[in-house]
Amino acid sequence: MTEPQGSEERQPVTPADAPGIDEMMDDAIAGVIAEEELAAAAVEGDVSQAQLALAELTNDLQRLQAEYANYRRRVDRDRDLIRENAVGGVLTQLLSLLDDVDRARQHGELEGAFKTVGESLEATLTKLGLEPFGATDEAFDPMVHEALTTESRDDITEPTVISVYQSGYRFAGRVLRPARVAVAGTD
């Protein structure tokens, strides 16, 4: 009788029995290592790209913050300039009223309630920043004085205001109206 097939005992396969298995294992291990290295390189590339993107966004944010700060300063400066121009325009319109109050005071007609109103008006305009100028015996300055008359005198070394016909006014560092004066000087 013949022995049945399949009754042979199976023996485990060893690397010696299967040529090329070592190479297949080495190739598989090398493939896994290569995939892990590629994944690590991709993560490192992503990190470096993320760092570059972060640096770029940080620069953009800093630039926008600087632009916003400059915008705020410009808006504040423009707002102040608009306010100064508006107040200066109103003050310029009130100068003739101040001239009337001054003339009434010089003629002794500023008494009682009118005196109080005149002083209150002058105090309020001073609080707003209106500065009168143009007094006798001050040096003549053509930037702030308008010479209506001149006379020659030997006792004066430089041109000097000897009489003020109309006071000048200054607001926020600029002349709203020059003082109209008489000037004495040497020949």
Domain ranges of the chain: 130-187
- Model confidence over 63-86: pLDDT tens digits? 999 999 999 999 999 999 999 999
How confident is the model at residue 53, as a pLDDT? 86
Q: How far apart are CA 137 and CA 71, in angstroms?
A: 47
How confident is the model at residue 127, as a pLDDT? 95
How confident is the model at residue 10, as a pLDDT? 61
Segments of the chain scoring below 50 in pLDDT = 1
Phi, psi of 55 (to 5 degrees): -65, -40
pTM for this predicted structure: 0.62
End-to-end CA distance of the chain: 159
Q: Cβ neighbours of residue 97 under 8 Å, at least 6 residues apart? A: 121
- Tell me which architecture the domain covering 130-187 has in CATH: Roll (2.30)
